[in-house]
Amino acid sequence: MALERYFDTLEATDPNFVARVWLGDLYAAEHEYSGRSTDRGSTLIPMAELLDTGDADLVVQKDGEGRLYYRLGLRYAPDDLDLDPLDRGFVVQRSYEAVGDPGDVWLDDDGVWHVLAGAEVRVNVTMVNDSRRTNMVLIDPLAAGFEPLNPALAVTGDVDVRDDSGWWWWTWYRHQNLRDDRAEAFATYLWAGTHEYSYVVRATTPGTFVVPPARPRKSTPRRSSAAPPPTGSSSGTAAEQSSSRGQSRSAW
């Protein structure tokens, strides 16, 4: 009942308007809305055109009656895969260690991690935040040659999950997702301090890979704000997997 009254008040006027978008002098989009519908208009502006406009204003205009809802998003890829760490209220570090033979995983003088094919690897991520936060998620991308081992699945078998807490096992995160391309740890309330997160993967595919940085972010949509969201990232990581020691290593 309350939601119905809220909707009737907020959406008292049926949509009947034209929405237009400008990026600087570029007339980017136009869409007409008449009556209530689930239809939506969208437009994509190539990055080349976005860079050509330089420091330009983005203008969204509504001409007519009704309420306009819109979302602005930016998707991009860095032109340099060797990324420096980023600190905006969070400091994140990532390292790898062998679950079995310590010689299965090592770090060379150039900062490249080497892993033997078939080895089980424990991924350790350390996150430090300078103030308490709410609704945060720590995201750690996986190298393409890694396969996560989910201890919650019966088909996984025994996984050497690090746990020094005895019968009382408590974690700073409420739940985790182990996906094909990343691991995620979610926290509703994150107090200030140092937080450790570990999981186990298996090196399945020989090759050489660049691993994107681990990073925290808000797990719920943010309201518009002039300030950037609190975040951070580890440095990008290079990893190489080979079939055995002493052999020339093909790309992992």
Q: Model confidence over 160-195: pLDDT tens digits?
A: 666 544 445 678 999 999 999 999 999 999 999 999
* 236 falls within a domain: yes
**Phi/psi of residue 13, each to 5°?**
-105, 125
Clarify whether residues 138 and 96 are in a common domain: yes
* 208 falls within a domain: yes
* 117 falls within a domain: yes
- Taking the C-alpha atoms of residue 66 and residue 33, their distance in angstroms, rounded to an integer, is 9
* 76 falls within a domain: no
Clarify whether residues 238 and 125 are in a common domain: yes
Clarify whether residues 167 and 124 are in a common domain: yes
* 70 falls within a domain: no
CB atoms within 10 A of CB 237: 22
- Taking the C-alpha atoms of residue 140 and residue 212, their distance in angstroms, rounded to an integer, is 8
Clarify whether residues 53 and 98 are in a common domain: no
Nearest to 69 by CA among 47, 107, 42, 50: 42
Clarify whether residues 111 and 235 are in a common domain: yes
Q: How far apart are the first and last CA of the chain?
A: 58
Nearest to 219 by CA among 130, 133, 127, 143: 133
Tokens linked to 125: 């991520």
- Taking the C-alpha atoms of residue 117 and residue 57, their distance in angstroms, rounded to an integer, is 51
Domain count, the chain: 2
* 71 falls within a domain: no
For residue 35, give its domain range: 2-65
pLDDT band at 63 (very low <50, low <70, confident <90, very high): very high
pLDDT score for 79:
80
CB atoms within 10 A of CB 107: 14
pLDDT band at 53 (very low <50, low <70, confident <90, very high): confident
Nearest to 147 by CA among 117, 114, 126, 103: 117
Which three-class secondary structure state does DSSP give residue 32? strand
- Taking the C-alpha atoms of residue 82 and residue 72, their distance in angstroms, rounded to an integer, is 28
- Taking the C-alpha atoms of residue 106 and residue 214, their distance in angstroms, rounded to an integer, is 19
- Taking the C-alpha atoms of residue 196 and residue 126, their distance in angstroms, rounded to an integer, is 5
Q: Which of 18, 35, 65 is the last residue of a domain?
A: 65
pLDDT band at 156 (very low <50, low <70, confident <90, very high): confident
* 132 falls within a domain: yes
Clarify whether residues 235 and 134 are in a common domain: yes
Clarify whether residues 126 and 192 are in a common domain: yes
Q: Which of 30, 65, 100 is the last residue of a domain?
A: 65
Whether residue 86 contacts residue 233, with contact meaning beta carbons closer than 8 Å, is answered with: yes
* 105 falls within a domain: yes
Instruction: Identify the bridge partners of residue 53 per DSSP, sorted by sequence position.
Output: none
> For residue 221, is pLDDT > 80?
no
